[in-house]
Amino acid sequence: MAQRYEVLKIDALENIEKTPEGFLRLPARATRTGVFVYRKADGTLRKEFRSPEEVFNADSLATLLAKPVTNNHPKEGRVDASNAKQHTVGFTSDSIQEDGKFVKLFLNILDEDTVDDIKNGKRELSCGYTCEVTDSTGESDGETYDAVQKNIQYNHVALVHRGRAGSQVRLNLDSEDAVLEEDIADATPQIKNQKTTHKEDTMETTSIKIDGQAVTVPNGAAVLMTRFIQKQQSRIDDLEKELEKGRELKTDLENTEMLLDKAQGKIKGYKASVTELEKKLDTFDAQVKEKAVERARLQKTAESVLDADSIEKLDEMSTSDIKKAVISKKTDLNLDNATETHIDACFEVICNLKEAPKNALGAGIIQNRSDEAGENKADARDRAKERQKNAYKGEQS
C-alpha cells in the first residue's frame, strides 16, 4: 500500500458554525475524482488517476467517517492509538455527501489553537490515506496519467498550508509515499504531459542541516536525507527510552535483591527462634508431664489419709495445701509459719514412715526447727528422718 496526501480548500468562512463551547463545525470538500500530480520521495513527479468508482466506493468512504482531524500531518505519517491524543484536534462527521466530483463532509474542530489558525487563514485540507497504485497509462477528461489508485483507505484529515513540495514532503514515511504537488488544473503544460521517469532540465536545490552544518543538495536528495535523519533520530529516541527503562529495571532489581537478602536474614533468625522455642516447648511438656504425675501421686496419697469431705475438695486445692492437710491429719504440727521446704520435708517423712505415735511423730519433726531454717530441702528431709528413727526412745523414757 502506498501513502498519499492531497490538498483541497475549506469552504467559505461564512458557512462555519461556532458552538457555545467555542468549537467549530465547518463544511469541507475532503477529496475528489480526477488526475493528481504527486511528488515522490525521490523528487520525481507522478500523475495518478482516481476514478469515480474508487472515490465514491462505499467501503472506501466508510473509512473517512469520524476520523481524526490534525493540525498538519503527524510526523509519524498516520494517526493511531499511540499518538492520537497528541495530534487529534477534531473529527470528521459521521455522514458524507457526494458533490459532483467532490466528497463533501463536515469537520468538527475542538482545539482552540486550530480554531485560531483557521480564522487566520489556514484553510486547506490534506487527506492522509493509503491506496494501491498500479502502473497504467491513460487519459481522463483530456488529462494523461501514469498510474491508477485503488482500494483507498483514509486515516486522517489534516489542516495544512499550501500542500506543494516542501514541508509536506518531509512527512513521508517510505519510498512509496508521495505528496500532492498541485491540482492538475493549475499544472503547467510541461507537468501535465510529464511521465514518471521525466527529469527536469533545471535541478532545484535546497539547504538542510546535518550535524549543525548547512548542506546544499538537490530537492530529491533533501527529501531522502531528511526522511533518513528523521527515522534515525526517531530510532535513537526509542533506544534512549528503552535504555532508560533498562536502567530503571536494573535499579528495581538491585533494590529487590537487597530486600531479598534482608528477608533471608530475617528468615534465618526466625528459624533459630523457632528451634529454640521448640526445645523450650519439649522441656515444658516434660515438666508438665512430671508435674501431672507428681500431682496424681499426691492426690492418691491424700485420698488414703483424708476424710471424704476433704477428698472432694482436692481438685481445688494447691499442692502445698494438700500436703498441709495430710500433715495436719497425721500430726499436731502448727504449719501456719512453715516454709515450703519444711512442709515438703514433713510430707516426705510421713509418706515414708509406718504407723508411729502421733505425738512422737510431731515432736520429732518440730525438734530443732529453728536450727533447720537455713538448711536446704534435702538436708532438712534427712535430718527429719534421722530424728524420726530415734523418736520411740523418747516415748519409752
- List, for residues 314-359, the tens digit of each pLDDT value: 888 999 899 888 988 888 888 888 898 988 888 888 888 754 445 4
CA separation for the pair 248, 64 (Å, rounded) = 42
pLDDT on residue 103: 92
Longest distance between any two alpha carbons in the chain, whole Å = 162
CB atoms under 10 Å from CB of 217, counted, come to 16
CA separation for the pair 242, 271 (Å, rounded) = 42
DSSP H helices, 304-352, are 308-312, 319-330, 340-352
CA separation for the pair 188, 182 (Å, rounded) = 10
pLDDT on residue 387: 55
Q: Which residue has the higher pLDDT, 341 or 230?
A: 341
CA separation for the pair 225, 205 (Å, rounded) = 13
pLDDT on residue 165: 27
- List, for residues 19-50, the tens digit of each pLDDT value: 899 899 989 888 899 998 888 777 788 899 99
Per-residue pLDDT for 174 more than 50?
no
Predicted TM-score (pTM) of the model is 0.44
Per-residue pLDDT for 378 more than 90?
no
Per-residue pLDDT for 220 more than 70?
no
CA separation for the pair 227, 245 (Å, rounded) = 27
Task: List 26's β-bridge partners, or say none.
Answer: 107
- List, for residues 176-210, the tens digit of each pLDDT value: 345 555 443 443 343 334 333 333 333 456 677 76
Cell reading at 225? 536525507
Q: What DSSP line would sit under 158-219, residue for residue?
A: EEES--STTGGGGG--STT-EEEEEEGGGS-HHHHT--TT---SS--EEEEEETTEEEEEEH
